A and B are shown apart, each in its own frame.
Chain A
Amino acid sequence: MNSNKKFTIMITGVITVVIFWIGWVSSNPKDEKAMATFVSVEKLLNDKINKRTKLGGLVKDGSIIISKTNYLDCSFVLKEGNTELTVKYDRTRPDLFKDGAEVIVTGQYLDGTFYADELQTKCASRYEGDLRDESNYKLTEIKT
Chain B
Amino acid sequence: MHFISDYILVFIFFVLPVIFVIQPLFLNKINNLKNKIDLPSLKRKKRLLYRQIKELEMEFDIGNINQKDFKISRKELKIEVSEVITKLNSNKI
A touches B in complex, CB < 8 A: no
A interface residues, Cβ below 8 angstroms from B: none
B interface residues, Cβ below 8 angstroms from A: none
